Amino acid sequence: MSAVTWLHYASGGVLGLAALLVAVRITRGPTMLDRSIAFDVIVAIALGGFAVDAALRHSAENLPLLLVATMLGFVGSVSIARFSPGSDDVEAERIERQGDVGFGDRTGDGPL
C-alpha cells in the first residue's frame, strides 16, 4: 500500500469519525443554535472530504461544487444567526428574570 493510498484511507476515517461525532451533537444538542452550528460543521466536513478527494485524484472537477457548497454554508449560517430569536440559554434567562446580574450590578458593590 502506497503512502498516498494510506493517506486517503486515514483522512476518510478521520472525516468519518468527525461526522459521526457531529451527528451525535445534532441529535443531543439542547438548542436550535447548537444544531445549526453542528450542521455547519457537517457541511465543512463534507467540503474537506471533497477537497481531499480532489487533491488525491489531481483533479479540479470538484472545485465548482466546493465553491457553491461553501457559499451555501456561509449564507445559511448568517441567515440562522440573523433570524434566531436572542438567547436560547435557559440559565441566562433565569438569571435575568431573578435580577442576579453578578459582578458589576447596579448596587455598586461590583468590581467596577
Tell me the percentage of the chain whose pLDDT exceeds 90. 26
More confident residue, 62 or 101: 62
Would you state the cell numbers that stand for residue 109, as one nine-digit string? 458593590
- Residue 19: partners with Cβ closer than 8 Å, 6 or more residues away: 42, 45, 46
Residues 84-102, mean pLDDT to the nearest whole number: 64
0.75 exceeded by pTM: no
Encode pLDDT of 65-92 as tens digits: 999 999 988 898 888 878 777 655 566 6
Give the integer Cα–Cα distance in Å for 50 and 43: 11
Q: What ranges do the domains of the chain cover?
A: 3-84
For residue 6, the Cα-to-chain-centroid distance in whole angstroms is: 28
pLDDT the model gives residue 112: 53
Specify the 3-state DSSP secondary structure of 64. helix
Architecture of domain 3-84: Orthogonal Bundle (1.10)
